[in-house]
Every structure is written in structure tokens, then in C-alpha cells.
Amino acid sequence: MLVNRIISATVAGLVAVVIGFASSVALIYQTVINLGGDAGLASSWILTLGLSMGITSIALSYYYRVPILIAWSTPGAALLIANTQNFNLNEAIAGFMFSALLIFLCGITGWFEKLINKLPFQLASAMLGGILVNFGIDVFNQMNEAPLLVIVMLFSYLICRQLMPKFTMLFVLIISVVFAWQLELMTFTAFSWQLSEFSYVSPEFNLSAILGIGIPLFLVTMAAQNLPGIAVLKAHNYKAPVSSILSVTGFVNMLAAPFGAYAINLAAITAAICMTEDVDKDPKKRYWAAISGGGFYILMAISAGYLMQAFASLPNALIYSLAGMALFTTITSSIQQALYDDKMSEAAIITFLVTASNLSLWNISSVLWGLIAGSITLLIQKLLKKSNK
């Protein structure tokens, strides 16, 4: 009985980590490249993120006896790809640290619930959809570069989504790598095993980095990651120590940001894997699955140098397409949630369109302009309704 519990908890932790890694590592790699980094810097980011997520998952889960799985922010990475063209690496690091500081303050002050209550959920969903929609579109743009590869990836995605939804991105990654190798699209280099190394980048604080990176990353991480993560815990009848989780992840994030930890937060979809009856019939014992996941995060971190070497050999069309397909589900749910309430739909659509645009007026990103535009739309609608009464 004990052996079965250990095996089921270990497997659940491994599956959660593999799915999380396969579904979004392409986004993190591309973020580093966009900021002027290389595979070596990407391995430092994965090393730092893996250790941060692993240690916090193990510590929080063991202390509270609750399956608390910490993850990197997939929407946050997508935001950074779309939103850092006008910033250098040092400014980006400053933005990461400011976002982490805000999360830490939310934890120690209890601001989180108050802040989320003031931000309409539909506008937050529309903002997220606007950030991600171009990644979905880019899947089909990549057909211009490697049509056969992307078509095979797309059909693999569609089939796996129906047959094995939990493992979709893992199978798409495997199939796409094999097919790219058959098409001779991969650039092979001499792979050598090496331990990952930390790369420190000093932050360069300025108002543009705070407004363009820090605040949007904070909003996306809280609204699209921490909030669903708390919902998953509550849905499985776990009393979530919200403030403590935010305090710990925010503090660790601040310390680790100069080494590439752009955002760590509560996991949602992968965390749910650690909370089912398949892990353990006794809900009080399921925290061992999250502890197992934390251990696999640390192993992933130690292997980051080798993993990023392998990733650097993949064609760009594969990386961009993999990233976009990994976000199909998130894009769908974001748009559905944004348009759920007819009274909010116009404001949500305006938020979505402005966020998806290339607007960067006064060096303020389209993400913030999207929220501003949506909020102004709601305000005008409310004022006009009052005047008509």
C-alpha cells in the first residue's frame, strides 16, 4: 500500500513537471533570444526557475501539508516575447524584480483580493487573450517557412487533444522533433553534458521598464496564474494559505530575478494533476505529489545546460509553432471568459483589440493601454446609464 502511494505520487509529480516544461519552455527560450541572450543564458534562466520552483514547492507543500505546486508564468513569458522589443536585458531584469516586489507586497499586506476585486475579471481575460492571440496566429505564419513540419505538428496537436489531452504538448514536441530531423531542418552540434551555471544580470531601473514590463507582468501573473491556482486549490477543498504563498514566491522571485527568474507563481493545470484521487485516496496525503514535482523541478534545473543545447538545435518554425499551440487552450478560455457577460463584452473587445495592437504611445505598452481603454469604456457606459435614469 505504501509502495503504491509512493509510486502514484512520484508519477503525478513527474507528469506535472514534464507537461509544464514541454508546454512552455519554447516561450522562455524565445524570450531570452528576443532580449539578446543565447542558449547559455537560457540555461541559466531554467536553472534558476527550476531551483526556485522546486525549493518553494517542497517547502510550502511540506509545511502546510497541502499540494502546493509552484510554476513559472507561461502567459508571463508570452507577454515578455511580445512586450520587450524596446528594452534591453538589464531593464527586463528590473521589470522582473518590480513585479516580484508587488507580488510580495500583496502577500504581506493582503492586497491581492482587494486588487483583483477592483479589476473586472472579463477585462483581465481580454488582456490575456490580446497578449496571446498573435502567438496563435504565428503558428499559421510559420507555414510559410516550413509548411510540412507545421502541418504535421498541427494535425498531431488536434489528434492528441482528443485522445490524450494531458500529454498533448509532450507528444507534439516528440513528433515535431522527429519530423524536423527527417526533413533535415535541425542544426546538430556536438552535445556535451554540463552542469548549468548561474548568469547574473544587473538590473537597470527606469520608469519605462516598470510601466512596460513590471506592471503588466505583475497583472498577468496574478490574474492568469495565481488566481486560477488558488481556484484549483479551493476546488479540491484545500484551504489555500494565499498570503503566505504570495509572500514566499514574491520574496524568492525578487532574489532570483537577476539570474533569470522572471516570474514564479501557483501552478493551476499541472497542480490539478497532483490533487486527484489517482494520487491518493486520502486528500491529506496528496501533498507528496507536489513534493515529488519539486524534486523533478530541481533535476530539470541541473540538466538545463544540456536541455538548452538541444533546444538551440531546433528550427525556429518548430519553436514558434510549439509555443503557439501550447497557448491555444489559454487563448480560447481567455476569449470565452472575456465575452461571458454581455454587459462587459464591448469593453472586453476593446481591451482585447488594443492589447493585441502595436500601440506604444508615450512608451507605455499596449497591455496597459488595453486595460485603460477597457476601463474607460466601462466608465463611460456606467455614466451614461446613470444620466439616462
Is residue 223 assigned to a domain?
A: yes
Q: Is the dihedral of CA 312, 175, 298, 251 positive or negative?
A: positive
* CA distance linking residue 38 with residue 97, whole number of Å: 21
Q: Per the domain annotation, does 195 fall within a domain?
A: yes
**Quick one: average pLDDT of 338-348?**
83
Q: Is the pLDDT of residue 105 over 90?
A: yes
Q: Note whether residue 373 is domain-resident.
A: no
What is the pLDDT, as a whole number, of residue 312?
A: 66
Q: Which of 44, 91, 100, 49 is nearest to 74 (CA)?
A: 49
| pLDDT number for residue 384 | 83
Do residues 127 and 351 make contact, with C-beta atoms less than 8 angstroms apart? yes
- Domain assignment of residue 11, yes or no: yes
In whole numbers, what is the pLDDT of the chain averaged over residues?
83
Rounded to an integer, the average pLDDT of 219-248 is: 81
Give the model's pLDDT for residue 192.
60
Query: Which range, of 109-118, 187-196, 287-296, averages the lowest pLDDT?
Result: 187-196
What local confidence, expressed as pLDDT, does residue 363 receive? 61
**Res 325 pLDDT > 90:** no
Residue 355 maps to a domain: no
User: Could you tell me which of 366, 329, 317, 296 has the C-alpha nearest to residue 143?
Assistant: 317
Residue 294 has pLDDT above 90, yes or no: yes
Three-state secondary-structure class, residue 336: helix
Q: Stretch 90-116: mean pLDDT, rounded?
A: 88
Q: Residue holding cell 457577460?
A: 341
The pLDDT tens digits of the residues spanning 138-194 come to 889 989 988 899 999 999 999 988 887 766 767 887 888 888 888 887 766 655 656
* pLDDT of 255 strictly over 90: yes
Q: What is the mean pLDDT of residues 77-97?
A: 87
Q: For a pLDDT cut of 90, what percent of the chain falls above it? A: 27
339 occurs within a structural domain: no
* CA-closest candidate to residue 47, choices 68, 58, 32: 32
pLDDT of residue 172: 82
What confidence score (pLDDT) does residue 60 get? 96
Give the DSSP H or E segment for 265.
Answer: strand 264-266
Report the pLDDT value the prediction gives residue 191, as an integer from 0 to 100.
Answer: 55
Integer Cα distance of 76 and 99 in angstroms = 11
pLDDT band at 108 (very low <50, low <70, confident <90, very high): very high
**Sign for the pseudo-dihedral over CA of 17, 19, 24, 25:** positive
What total number of domains does the chain contain?
Answer: 1
Comparing 188-197, 240-249, 271-280, 292-301, which segment has the lowest mean pLDDT? Answer: 188-197
pTM for this entry: 0.70
Confidence label for 311 from pLDDT (cuts 50, 70 and 90): low
Q: What percentage of the chain has pLDDT greater than the value 70?
A: 89
Tell me the one-letter amino acid at 225: Q
For the residues 238-265, what does the mean pLDDT come to? 92
pLDDT of residue 102: 94
The pLDDT value given to residue 165: 74
Give residue 241's pLDDT.
83
| Model pLDDT, residue 324 | 79
**For residue 47, pLDDT beyond 90:** yes
With a cut of 80, say whether residue 94 has pLDDT above it: yes
What distance in Å separates the CA atoms of residue 206 and residue 94, rounded to the nearest whole number?
Answer: 8
pLDDT digits (tens, 9 = 90+) for 344-370: 788 889 989 998 888 877 766 677 788
Print the domain residue range for 316.
2-328
Q: In whole angstroms, what is the distance from residue 33 CA to residue 73 CA?
A: 17
Nearest Cα to Cα of residue 119 among 357, 361, 380, 347: 347
- Assess if residue 375 is contained within a domain: no
**Who has greater pLDDT, 344 or 121?**
344
